[in-house]
Structure 1
Amino acid sequence: MDQQKALEIVRQQLPDKRYIHTLGVLESAQELAERYGADIEKAKLAAIFHDYAKYRPLDEMEQIIKNEQLPQDLLEYNTELWHAPVGAVLVKKEANLHDEEILSAIKNHTSGCVGMSMLDKIIYLADYIEPGRSFPGVDEVRALSLLSLDKAVLQAMGNTITFLIKKNQTIYPDTFHAYNDLAKQIGRNN
Structure 2
Amino acid sequence: MEREAALKLVKEQLTDHRYQHTLGVMETAISLAKQYGGDVHKAELAAIFHDYAKFRPKEEMSEIISNQGFPKDLLHFNSELWHAPAGMYLVEKEAGIRDPEVLDAIRYHTSGRPAMTLMEKIIYLADYIEPGRHFPGVDEVRAVAKESLDQALIMAIKNTIIFLMKKNQTVYPDTFYTYNDLIKKLED
- TM-score (norm. length: structure 2): 0.99
Say whether 1:119 aligns with 2:119.
Answer: yes
Residue 60 of structure 1, CA deviation = 0.7
The amino acid that maps onto 2:7 is: L
Matches within 5 A, 1:27-176: 27-176=27-176
Deviation readout 1:54-94 (Å, 9 max, x if unpaired): 00000111111111011100110000000001000000000
Percent of paired sites with the same residue? 61
Residue 5 of structure 1, CA deviation = 0.7
Residue 6 of structure 1, CA deviation = 0.5
- TM-score (norm. length: structure 1): 0.98
The amino acid that maps onto 2:156 is: A
- Displaced runs of 4+ in structure 1, greater than 4 A? none
In structure 1, what is the equivalent of residue 177 of structure 2?
Answer: 177
Say whether 1:2 aligns with 2:24.
Answer: no
The 2-side partners of 1:112 and 1:65 are apart by: 17
The amino acid that maps onto 2:124 is: Y
The 1-side partners of 2:80 and 2:186 are apart by: 28
Q: What residue ranges of structure 2 are gaps of 5+ in the alignment?
A: none
Residue 186 of structure 1, CA deviation = 1.7
The 2-side partners of 1:185 and 1:123 are apart by: 20
**What is the DSSP-based 3-state SS (H/G/I as helix, E as strand, rest coil) of the residue aligned with 1:38?**
coil
The amino acid that maps onto 2:130 is: E
Give the paired residue count. 188
Q: Name the Cα RMSD after superposition.
A: 0.5
The 2-side partners of 1:46 and 1:179 are apart by: 22
The amino acid that maps onto 1:130 is: E
The 1-side partners of 2:111 and 2:71 are apart by: 12
Deviation readout 1:74-127 (Å, 9 max, x if unpaired): 110000000001000000000000000000000000000011000000000000
The 2-side partners of 1:36 and 1:136 are apart by: 25
The 1-side partners of 2:177 and 2:82 are apart by: 18
The amino acid that maps onto 1:156 is: A
**What is the DSSP-based 3-state SS (H/G/I as helix, E as strand, rest coil) of the residue aligned with 1:84?**
helix
**What is the DSSP-based 3-state SS (H/G/I as helix, E as strand, rest coil) of the residue aligned with 1:109?**
coil
The 2-side partners of 1:22 and 1:60 are apart by: 22
The amino acid that maps onto 2:153 is: V
Residue 187 of structure 1, CA deviation = 1.8
The 2-side partners of 1:45 and 1:186 are apart by: 29
